A and B are shown apart, each in its own frame.
Chain A
Amino acid sequence: MQILESVVSDFKAELQTITKTPDLLNLKAKFLGKQGPISEVMKNLKDATVEEKRLIGARANEVKTAIEELFSAKMQEIELQEINEKLSKDKVDISLTDSVLDLGLQAAGFHPVTLVQQEIEDIFISMGFEVLDGPHIEDEFHNFEALNIPATHPARDMQDTFWFADKKHLLRTHTSTIQVRGMLERKPPFRFVGPGKVFRCERTDASHEMVFHQLEGMMVGENISVGNLIYFMKTLLTEIFKKEVEVRLRPGFFPFVEPGFELDIRCLICGGKGCSVCKQVGWVELLPCGMVHPNVLRAGNIDPEKYNGFAFGLGLDRLVMMKYGIDDIRHLHSGDLRFNSQFKSF
C-alpha cells in the first residue's frame, strides 16, 4: 500500500527528465510493465484478505490511470515539440512578398474610361436600357443625314469631321450614329445607350483630343415629355455623382433634337453660390439633350405622329477627368503606364 502511494510521485519525478519518445516509452514500461511496481503489488495481493484486495485493487487501478494520463500528456507535448522543431528547420521568409521584390511594374487594373463607362452602363441597365455599339468608320447617312444634318446645313461646321479619300466615308463625330442604327434595328417602345470612341479633326491640347469617348442615350415611346427627360437625367446624374443633383435645361441648338437643350447641373463644388469652377454662375454645363427631331425618327423608320422620345449625349472623358482630377486628356490614349497604373485594381 505504501509502495502504491509513492509510485505516482516517482513517475512524475522521472517524467521531468524525459525529452524523447523512446525514453518516454521505456519509462512507461518501467512503471506499468510486468516488472513494474504495480505488477509487484498485484502479485503480492494473493495473500491479502478480501477487504484488503478490494481496497488495494481499486487503488492500484487509480494509480495506473493516473500514470497513463501523465504519459499521454507528455507524449503529446513531445510530439508537438518535435513537429515544431521540424517546422523551424523548414522555415520560409514570410517577409519576401511580391511587393518588396524587384518584379517591375506589378499593378493590374482597368483603364479609367472603362471604369466610368461600366459604371454608367450598369446604371442604365438597371433602368431598363440596352447597351449598343457601332462602327467607327461611318458614312454620311448615319453621321449626318439621318440626324437631320443635310449637306448644306451650317451645323456641319460644328463637326470637325475626319474624311476618307472617297468623300463618302468618315470617322463618326458623335455616338449619335449608334442612335440611327439602334432605331433601324428595333420597334418602339425602346431605350438604349451607346458608348464609344468618337473622332474630331481638332488640334489636341490638355482639354481637347481628336479621339475621345461619348455615351449616347435614346428613349422612344408614346407621349414622352420634356418632364420625363428631366426625370431621367436627374436620376442618372444622382446615381453617377452619388448625391442629389439639381439640373436645369436651357435652349441649345442641335439639329437632331427639337426642342434641344443644354443640361446644366448645380455646381457640385460650391452648391450654386458661385465659384471658379462654375465661373461664378452656380451652374456647370454638362450635356446636350433634347426631344428627338421628327426627321430623325423618320430616318429611323419610326412614325413621328405616333411615337416620340428623347436623346442625350454624355462626354465620358470629361466625367473621368472630373472624377479623378486628371489634368490632361491626352493621357487617356498615351499608353503611359505611369498614368494607367494609378487606376489599378490591385
Chain B
Amino acid sequence: MLISLNWIKDFVNLPELSPKEISSRFTLATAEVEDVIVKNDFLKKVLVVEVKSMKPHPDSDKLNLVTINYGAAETKEIVCGAQNVAVGLKVPYAQNGTTLPNGMTLEPKKIRGVLSEGMLCSETELGMSAESAGLMILDPKATPGTTMGEYLQADTDVLLDVDNKSLTHRPDLWGHLGLAREFAAAFNLPLKNPYNDSWTKKIEGTLTTGAAPIKVEVDPASSCLAYYGLSLSNIEVGETPAWIKNRLEAVGLRSINSIVDISNYVMTELGLPNHIFDRNKIAGDTLFIKKLNAETEFVTLDETSRKLTDSDTVIADKEKNLVLAGIMGGASASVDSNTKNIFIEVANWDAPEVRKTSVRLGLRTDSSQRFEKTLDSNLCYRTLLRLVELIREVCPNAKIEGSVSRYVREDKLSRELTFNIAHSLINSRLGMDIESSRIQGIFESLDFKTTLANGVFTVVVPTYRTTKDIYCDADLVEEIGRMIGYDNIKPVSPVMGIKPVRLDQKKVFHRKIQDFLVNHAKSLQVMTYPLIGKDLLTQAMWPVMNDDLVLVNALSVDHDRMRPSAIPHAIEMSATNHKNYDQFSFFELGRSYAGFEKEKSQLVIGLFSKKKSRFVELENIVEKLLSSLNISFNFAAPSNKFKNELVPSEWAGVHPHEFQNVQIMGKFLGALTTVHPLVLKNFKMKGFLSLAVIDLTDLESREQKDKVKYTPIAKFPSSSCDFTIVMKQETPAAEVLAALKPLKVKELKEKCIVDVFSLNESEKTVTIRTTFSNEEKTLTSEEIKNFEAQVIQVLEKAGFFLRK
C-alpha cells in the first residue's frame, strides 16, 4: 500500500525531517516501509523565468548568453544553445543542484569560457515528452520565480510503500486518516481530524427527509453488517479535479471519472470502501441484499464471468444481481459519463464471508482486502457524509433525494472496550521503567481515553481498534512498546533456575549415526524431498503408491504425495550423480510416511560403483553402525513368512543374491539390497548400487545404555585348532561357522574363517579356526582333543566334512 505524505499532512503537521527519517520512524513504530518514493521532487528546483536580454556567446556561433529574471532582485546569465530562445519568453530554468529525470545533476560549469549557472530546459529535459524542438515555452502570464511544480500543478509528494501483509491486523490503517493518527502518535504531535461533531452537524444539515427513491431490504442471513444508502440527482459526471486525481494517481489508482474517483478518494482517505450505482440502471425501486441461495454466473466490472455459489452475498434489484457484496460490482449498474442520478452505498460486510468468496474466486480487490480485515460499522455514516460533501463540492447542482436508508446489525457492532491495566505490568512486560505520564500520553495520542488511579490505568479503546486488533492486556503493552521504540529497551538477562540440559536420546542417536557414516563409512550426507510423485515411484517400480497421502494443492504431479520410502529418491539421485562420478557413497537420515500419525524415521545408505558390487562393504558398514549404536541384530535371508515393509519382496529392485534382512528384536527393521539392474535400467543407469534402509522409529527413542562390562584378562593360555572343510562353491562360507551353534562348549571363545580356497569349479575348501581357553586352568591335551572331536561331530552332523 502506498501512503502519500501530502495526504497525511491534511491531518498532521509532519516535522521537517527527511523522507528517510520519517519512514524510519514509521517502520519502528508501526509497520515496515519497504520503499520511499519521492515524486516530482526536482520540479521544486525548476523555476519559471523570463528572458530579459540575450547576446551571442563571444566564442561560439550557436550559443547565446541569456540574461534571465527568476523572480529575485538580481538577474542571472545562462549559456543557452536552443534556437527558439527569444527576449520576453517565459521558459523553465533548472538551478544548480537540480537532478533532472535523465539522472543528470546540474553543477556550475564553464561553457566555452563562460560560467553558466544552471540551464534553460526543454520538455524532454523535464521528462514531459520523448522529444522536443527547443525550449519549453510557458504561458506568458506565468510569474517568474514560481516553481515548475506550482506552474504545472504537479504533485510533489513523498510516497511510503508499506507491505499489505504487515497491516493485516490493523483495519484502521487502510485509509490516510487512520495512518495520520499513527504519524501523530509516533511524532507526538496533535491529530487534526476535520471529521468532528461540528462537521457532522454541518453535512447533516444538507440532508433531506422524506421517502427515498430506492428502498433497501437486507436479508439478515446475508453477510451484511451495516448498510447506509442515499440517492442523489442532477449529477454531472465529468473531469475530476486535479487535486483528487493527483492523490489517487500517487497511491496507484487510475482516474476513471469524477464520481468513481470520489468514491475511491473517500475509501483511500477514510479506509472504508463504498459503492456508487447509476440509479437509472436499477430496475424497480428496491435493492435486495441477500444470500444467493443458488449457483449463478455473474459478470464483474472487469468483464470476467464468475461462478457464484449459494452462500455468496449479492446486492440485486428485482431483475438481476448488481454487486458481489464487498468485492466488486457488475457492469450493469455502474456509473458512466452519462449518469445523472446515483445511489450511494456505504456498507460493512462480514470479514470471513468476504474472504471466503474472494479466496474462492481468486479475486482480491481494494474493497475485499479492506473488508477482510474486519472494519468498524460505526464508521459507515461518516463515510457517507464525506461522500456527500465531496460530490456536492464537485457537482454543486447535485440534489439529495429523500432520507438516508440505514440498516445496522446492532448485535455485531463493534463496541468500545475498557481495560484496567497496571502501570507495573506494562513496565514488567517491556522490561523498562516508563513514567506514567508518558504512558498516558501515548494512549491519548492514539485516541484511547485514559485515566490513572492507584497505579492502574483505565483505558477506553475506540471501536475501530476493537474489531479484532485490541482485546487483551498484551495488545495495550504493544501500543506502549512500539511508540516508546523497542530499540530503547535495554537487553537484560532473565533470572533463571539452574537445570542441567542435554541433547535428548533421539538427537544423540541421530548425531551418532551421522558421525559414524561420515567418519567411518566415508559417505556424504544428502537431503531429498519428503514429497514425491507417481512418476518416480513407477520408474523405481516401487509397489506402494501412498494414494491416501496425496496433497490437494500440490505444486506439481512430481511432488504431490508423501514418500512411502526414501529409496526411490536415493536411486534417482544416484542416477544423476553417476553421470559425474564413477563411485560414491551417501546417506540420508530422513523420514518416510506410512499414513497419518505414521511418520517413520528412515535411514538410507547408498554405495555406488561402476566397476563392482559394494554389497559386502555395505554389510560391514551396517554391522559396525548397529554395533556402535549398541543394537543387537542379525542378518536374515529373505522370508516368505515375515514381510519386510522396508523393502517389500514384491519390489522388482530386490536382488536375487545380494539381499539381507536386518532383524532387530525379532522384527525386520531394515534391509540391504543391491538394486536389481532391471530397475536401474529405468533410470538409464549402469553399475552397481547397493542400498541399506533402516527404520529408526522404534530404535531412536530407546534409552542408550553403556553395555561395556570388563572381564579380567585371561591368566591361562588358549589353544587354537584349524579345520579345513570341503564344500560346494555356491554354499556361503560363513554357514560353517553358523553350523557350530549347537556346540555346547563354554571353553570355545572364538571361531572365524582363516582361508577360503577354490578347488575346482564346483568345490572349495574353507579353513576355520577355533580357539579354546579356560579362565581357571591351562587346558590339557586330552581336553583339547575332546573339543576337537566335538567340533568335527557337530560339523559332520550339519553336512560339513573335513578334507581327507
Contacts and interface: CB of A to CB of B under 8 A. Distances in A.
Q: Do A and B come from one complex?
A: yes
Interface of A: 102-111, 113-114, 118, 121, 125, 128-133, 135-137, 151-152, 154-155, 157-158, 161-167, 169, 171, 189, 191, 197, 199, 201-204, 210-211, 219, 221, 223-228, 230-232, 234, 248-253, 255, 258-262, 281, 285, 291, 293-294, 308, 332-338, 340-341, 344-345
The 4 closest A-B CB pairs, nearest first, are A104-B583, A227-B431, A225-B431, A335-B573
Interface stretch (B1-9, B592-600, B759-767): B592-600
B551 A128 contact: no
Given A104-B584, A337-B524, A262 B32 contact: yes
Contact of B599 (A132, A137, A161, A211): A137
B160 interface: no
A201 B32 contact: no
A258 B31 contact: no
Given A136-B530, A337-B584, A128 B431 contact: no
Given A137-B599, A226-B431, A234-B491, A201 B555 contact: yes
A171 B593 CA distance: 12
14 contacts: A105-B577, A108-B523, A128-B499, A131-B507, A135-B597, A163-B551, A164-B552, A221-B496, A226-B489, A231-B492, A308-B429, A337-B524, A338-B577, A341-B524
Contacts of A201: 553-555
Nearest to A98: B522
Interface string B480-495: 0110001101111110
B737 interface: no
A228 B430 CA distance: 9
B399 interface: no
A203 B527 contact: no
B74 to A, nearest CB: 39
Contacts of B584: 104-105, 337
A345 B474 contact: no
B581 A104 contact: yes
B524 A340 contact: yes
B524 A158 contact: no
Contact of A131 (B477, B478, B494, B504): B504
A68 B601 CA distance: 75
Given A224-B494, A293-B474, A203 B432 contact: no
Nearest to A211: B529
B428 A225 contact: yes
A197 B530 contact: yes
B432 A337 contact: no
Interface in B493-525: 493-494, 496-499, 501-504, 506-507, 511, 514, 518-519, 521-525
A207 to B, nearest CB: 16
Contacts of B347: none
Nearest to B369: A154
B27 interface: yes
A102 B582 contact: yes
A228 B168 contact: no
Given A226-B430, A336-B576, A154 B372 contact: yes
B493 A228 contact: yes
B373 interface: yes
B526 A335 contact: yes
Nearest to A102: B582
Nearest to B574: A335
B785 to A, nearest CB: 40
B576 A335 contact: yes
Nearest to B548: A165
Contacts of B478: 251, 258-260
B472 interface: yes
Given A104-B583, A259-B477, A189 B496 contact: yes
Contacts of B551: 162-164, 171
Contacts of A202: 555
A131 B524 CA distance: 24
A337 B30 contact: no
Interface stretch (B44-52, B351-359, B380-388, B389-397): B351-359
B580 interface: yes
Contacts of A226: 429-432, 481, 486, 489
